Amino acid sequence: MKILLFFLLLFGSLHAQQWSVVCSKKIKPKSLAEIKSFYLKKRRYFEGVKIVPINLSYSNPARIDFMSMVLEIEKSRWQRYWDKMHFKGFDTPVVVESVEAMRMYLVKIPGSIGYLPSKMNRENFYEIGNFESK
């Protein structure tokens, strides 16, 4: 049993991918707590620039890992939070289907914030932190 568990963990870690939380160079947040408040739209501006948080869709495992490791929010609670916000007239963060679409948003929109695989070229972005996802 222990050997099986060891191989499962080894296999899992071999397939884990490093992701970077990045934003356009117009904004330079200092902490992951700030990222959390941007994604919840509790803070909507950074030094006068409007923040545009971007998420991948739930079909991408990185979305779930980003929420649990960076935002530290369970999916059910996240959804209930946005139910209330919808009633208050606030829209959820933008959702894109692919990493490439995420990258395009980050390049084109000042104040945008998202996450990309760390192996991607990130020289046009400001990097805030990292997380692992399969």
Partner 1 sequence: MKNYLSLFLLLISFTFLSAQEYQLGRGLDVIDQEKFSLKLGGFVGAKYSSENVLSMDHNGLMLYGNFLEKFNFLIEGSGDETFSYDFSSGESVRSKYYLSRAYLSYSYSDALSFKVGEFLTPLGLFNVAYIPALQWTAFKPYVADGFYPKIIAGAEVSGSFGDEQGFSYSAFYHFNHRYDTNPNNVQADEFAGAELRYIFDYEAKVAINFSRYKSVQSKEISRVGGANLLVPFNDDELSAEFLYKVGQWKDEVGSLSTWQDYAWYAQYVRALFSKNYLSLRVGQKVRFNSSKSRNWNDSNAVLGYIYKPYSALSVKLEHRYRERDGWNRLKVNETLLSFGLLF
Window of 4-12, 15-23, 29-37, 61-69 that interacts with partner 1 by CB under 8 A: 29-37
Q: Rounded to the nearest whole angstrom, what is the least distance from the CB of residue 113 to partner 1 in the complex?
A: 14
Give yes or no for residue 63 binding partner 1 (CB under 8 A): no
Q: For residue 110, how many other CB atoms are within 10 A of its CB? A: 14
Q: Which one of residues 22, 34, 102, 113 is an interface residue with partner 1 (CB under 8 A)?
A: 34
Is residue 127 classed as helix, strand or coil in its secondary structure? strand
3-state helix, strand, coil in the chain (%, to 5): 40, 25, 30
* 45 is a contact residue toward partner 1 (CB under 8 A): yes
**What 3-state DSSP class applies to 91?**
coil
Q: Tally the C-alpha atoms within 13 A of residue 30's C-alpha that lie toward its C-beta.
A: 1
* Residue 40 lies near partner 1 (rule: CB under 8 A): yes
CA dihedral 57, 60, 61, 64 (to 10 degrees): -10
CB of 105 to partner 1, least distance (A): 12
Q: Judged by CB under 8 A, which of 64, 92, 99, 117 binds partner 1?
A: 92
Residues within window 68-87 making contact with partner 1, judged by CB under 8 A: 73-74, 76-77, 79-84, 86-87
d(CA 128, CA 40): 17
Residues lying near partner 1 in the complex (CB under 8 A)? 31, 33-34, 36-37, 40, 42-45, 48, 50, 73-74, 76-77, 79-84, 86-89, 91-92
